[in-house]
Homo-oligomer: A and B are copies of this chain.
Amino acid sequence: MYEKKIPENLDCGISIAIKVLGGKWKAWIIDKINIGVRRPSELHRDIYLASPRVVNMHLKELEDMGIIYKKTYHEIPLRVEYYLTALGESVLPVIAAMEKWGNEQREHFDQAVSL
């Protein structure tokens, strides 16, 4: 796994929140799991714009951070489901706030420079 070379700074709450939500698809994944898209293959299909590999990596990170947990069913075919932990649920309002604000301001960003 990749080793960070520059130490992190988690002084302020913002850094922590960005660590959890800042990845390209992390917030989206959390949202989907919350909605009930639990299986990796479902998530891959749902977030088809992201490469499956990144979704997997994000899932792993979120699991390591204690935002989600994994349930493995030893069935055939193998089945895996992800669920939000209490910590993961506690972050939902933050995501909702971001989502709400972003949607309200979408018009502005559609016009504004295509940065």
Contacts and interface: CB of A to CB of B under 8 A. Distances in A.
A80 interface: no
Interface of A: 8-10, 12-19, 21-22, 24, 27-28, 31, 49, 61, 64-66, 87, 90-91, 93-95, 97-106, 108-110, 112-115
Copies of this chain present: 2
Contact of A65 (B14, B27, B115): B115
Contacts of A27: 14, 18
Contacts of A98: 13-14, 17-18, 21, 94
A49 to B, nearest CB: 6
Q: Pick the 7 closest A-B CB pairs, nearest first.
A: A13-B102, A16-B102, A17-B98, A13-B103, A13-B99, A17-B102, A97-B97
